[in-house]
Chains A and B, each alone.
Chain A
Amino acid sequence: MNAANVDAMYQEIILDHYKNPHGAGLREPFEAEVHHVNPTCGDEITLRVHLDGGRVADVSYAAEGCSISQASASVMNELLVGKSVEEGLQTLTVFQELMQGRGQVEPDEDVLEDGIAFAGVAQFPARVKCALLAWMAWKDAVAQASAEEDS
């Protein structure tokens, strides 16, 4: 990959989120906590979800990994906290489509906001997993927390 593509991946927005992550740290209360690992590179995240009447009241996390995985967790926190679980899952789907689109998918800024900065990452198959790590952890946690709320 050439230098131009690397610039497409390391957008200013991503580096900003990497240096100043939003919502980082593990907080109480929470209904579900998960730990996800990217086995190929060792990136890790512990993530807690607090739901309140079908809304995502908090997503707190402790993550260790590259700038892409860290920035992705930060952007995800911004996007999901305050949304309904249903809206959150829709946002996840849109983000996943962008990441798995090999750079061919036009990002929807209305839905993804800062998340559109990850469009460049989609051109690097090896890094897509980094961008999705936090999201997959959230999906897992929210499924567990929802089951908890329903029971």
Chain B
Amino acid sequence: MAGHDVEAVRKDFPILTRTLAGDRPLVYLDSANTSQKPRQVVEAMERHYLEHNANVARAMHQLGAEASAAFEAGRDKVAQFIGAPRRDEVVFTKNASEALNLVARVLGDDGRVSAGDEVVVTTMEHHSNLVPWQLLTQRTGADLRWFDVTDEGRLDLDSHTLTERTKVVAVTWVSNMLGTINPVEEIVRRAHEVGALVVVDASQAVPQFPVDVAALGADFVAFTGHKMVGPTGIGVLWGRYDLLAELPPFLGGGEMIETVSMDSTTFAAPPHRFEAGTPPIAQSVGLGAAVDYLSRIGMDQVAAHEQRITAYALDVLRELPGVSIVGPKEPVDRGGAISFTVDGVHPHDVAQLLDSQGVAVRAGHHCAKPLHARFGVQSTTRASFYLYTTEAEIDALGAAIRHTQSYFGAR
């Protein structure tokens, strides 16, 4: 295991040494839901609150200057981490959902999507990259269309043809349910051919592998801090600067203005135009520390570890009788989330029994109800992995599934 020392990494995450009720060691396999946080991130936020806390940009005192610098330093780090050509292309939001809602809202307000136009998504979307587009198309009279998914859980790019009517293609980079990594570059190519904008939900991508938004060529990329060892309460919208500069504001309030009178307001330049009100200051500090942490390990290493662990988990799950993987069964173009069903045991009962063995997973529709419907299941159990996941934990998952099957008499 040259390069990535999982045991050393685990020492940075005190929560992973916890034992749960019944003296069972925690086996945390729910990182696609939210990742755990290393000491370095928590301590950076603690230091900020205890030593530098003030509001940003509007406090003329020394603490205000320190807080502003710390907040903007988080932006610099994120911009560098994702290869953003300009730091002011990084807009902070409260989460990825807000980032996606922001884009959908302002594209509509700007008249870039209107009656007769078409917005294209995929059946693979998390609700947060589906519902905002439903709302936009309902609001504007545009049509919502989508790329379907094959039985193997791959995007079927032949299932819909983009045309001049297509104004936006919104697609997830990595499915939070199936784990599928989508050919986003190809989608960008096809969309730009017809002049459509491309919005990428990278919530499961940025945490898992190196991302270079400039090389990707999309117009907007959204992701969230808490899935990449950062804090909750901060999301990121990256957008091409020339586009951001043309778009109207999202929320109105402090910080997003240039000047205000009783009848009219002019707006600040990006990114502040899209950041009304007191922003997530400590969260930016925490996200900056998260980015430093991941960069120190190296995203290539993080990705390679994710690949290894996912391949190992696919092997373990495939060998379990009565267990069916929903999504790609080979570790090719595949991220570290595996959804599965257990014959004769409902996913919620699976998750409950796994929890009784110390194994934390997610069960339900994973905010992807249409995708579950596509595969004819109401819900699934999902195990997801990250840079601190060990093969021993995957073995514990396998053992806990076997225990669940015997408990419910399913095997």
- CB of A130 within 8 A of CB of B21, answer no
Which residues of chain B (343-364) have a CB below 8 Å from chain A? 346-349, 352-353, 355-357, 363-364
Q: Pick from A1-9, A84-92, A96-104, A143-151 the stretch touching chain B.
A: A1-9
Residue of B nearest to A6 (CB): B356
Report if A2-B365 is in contact (Cβ < 8 Å); known contacts: A41-B379, A67-B346.
no
Residues of A within 8 A of B20 (CB): 2
- CB of A130 within 8 A of CB of B364, answer no
Partner of A65, one of B24, B348, B356: B348
Known: A66-B347, A67-B349; 12 extra A-B contacts, CB below 8 A, are A1-B355, A2-B20, A5-B21, A5-B356, A6-B353, A10-B349, A41-B348, A41-B363, A41-B365, A44-B378, A64-B378, A65-B378
The answer for the CA separation of A29 and B68 in the assembled complex, in Å, is: 68
Which residues of chain B (177-230) have a CB below 8 Å from chain A? none
Residue of A nearest to B344 (CB): A19
Residues of A within 8 A of B24 (CB): 2
* A127 contacts partner chain B, Cβ-Cβ < 8 Å: yes
Residues of A within 8 A of B379 (CB): 41-42
**B-side interface mostly:** mixed
- CB of A3 within 8 A of CB of B22, answer yes
The answer for the CA separation of A43 and B349 in the assembled complex, in Å, is: 12
Q: Nearest Cβ in chain A — how far from B97, in angstroms?
A: 16
Residues of B within 8 A of A6 (CB): 352-353, 356
Interface of B toward A, CB cutoff 8 Å: 20-22, 24, 346-349, 352-353, 355-357, 363-365, 369, 372, 378-379, 407-408
* A57 contacts partner chain B, Cβ-Cβ < 8 Å: no
- CB of B352 within 8 A of CB of A124, answer yes
Residue of A nearest to B356 (CB): A6
The answer for the CA separation of A6 and B24 in the assembled complex, in Å, is: 14
The answer for the CA separation of A10 and B348 in the assembled complex, in Å, is: 12
Q: Nearest Cβ in chain A — how far from B372, in angstroms?
A: 8
Which residues of chain A (3-59) have a CB below 8 Å from chain B? 3-6, 9-10, 15, 40-44
Partner of B356, one of A2, A44, A64, A67: A2
- CB of A66 within 8 A of CB of B346, answer yes
Q: Nearest Cβ in chain B — how far from A87, in angstroms?
A: 31
Residue of A nearest to B23 (CB): A2
Residues of B within 8 A of A43 (CB): 348, 378
Partner of A42, one of B21, B352, B356, B365: B365
Q: Nearest Cβ in chain A — how far from B3, in angstroms?
A: 38
Residues of A within 8 A of B352 (CB): 6, 9, 124, 127
- Sorted nearest first, the 7 A-B pairs with minimum C-beta distance are A2-B22, A66-B348, A2-B21, A6-B356, A66-B346, A42-B365, A41-B364
Partner of B349, one of A40, A64, A66: A66
* Max count, chain A CB within 10 A of own CB: residue among B22, B24, B348, B407: B348
The answer for the CA separation of A44 and B355 in the assembled complex, in Å, is: 23
Q: Nearest Cβ in chain A — how far from B301, in angstroms?
A: 35
Q: Nearest Cβ in chain A — how far from B197, in angstroms?
A: 31
- CB of A1 within 8 A of CB of B348, answer no
The answer for the CA separation of A46 and B347 in the assembled complex, in Å, is: 20
Residues of A within 8 A of B22 (CB): 2-4
Q: Nearest Cβ in chain A — how far from B249, in angstroms?
A: 31
Report if A130-B378 is in contact (Cβ < 8 Å); known contacts: A6-B356, A42-B365.
no
Residues of A within 8 A of B21 (CB): 1-2, 5
The answer for the CA separation of A67 and B363 in the assembled complex, in Å, is: 14
- CB of B369 within 8 A of CB of A42, answer yes
6 interchain pairs (CB within 8 A)? A1-B356, A2-B356, A3-B356, A4-B22, A66-B349, A130-B348
Partner of B346, one of A40, A65, A124: A65
Q: Nearest Cβ in chain B — how far from A85, in angstroms?
A: 31
Residues of B within 8 A of A10 (CB): 349, 407
* Max count, chain B CB within 10 A of own CB: residue among A5, A6, A42: A42
The answer for the CA separation of A124 and B20 in the assembled complex, in Å, is: 15
Residue of B nearest to A19 (CB): B409
Residues of A within 8 A of B353 (CB): 6
Residues of A within 8 A of B372 (CB): 42
The answer for the CA separation of A3 and B407 in the assembled complex, in Å, is: 11
* Max count, chain B CB within 10 A of own CB: residue among A1, A2, A67: A2
Residues of A within 8 A of B356 (CB): 1-3, 5-6
- CB of B407 within 8 A of CB of A40, answer no
The answer for the CA separation of A112 and B369 in the assembled complex, in Å, is: 35
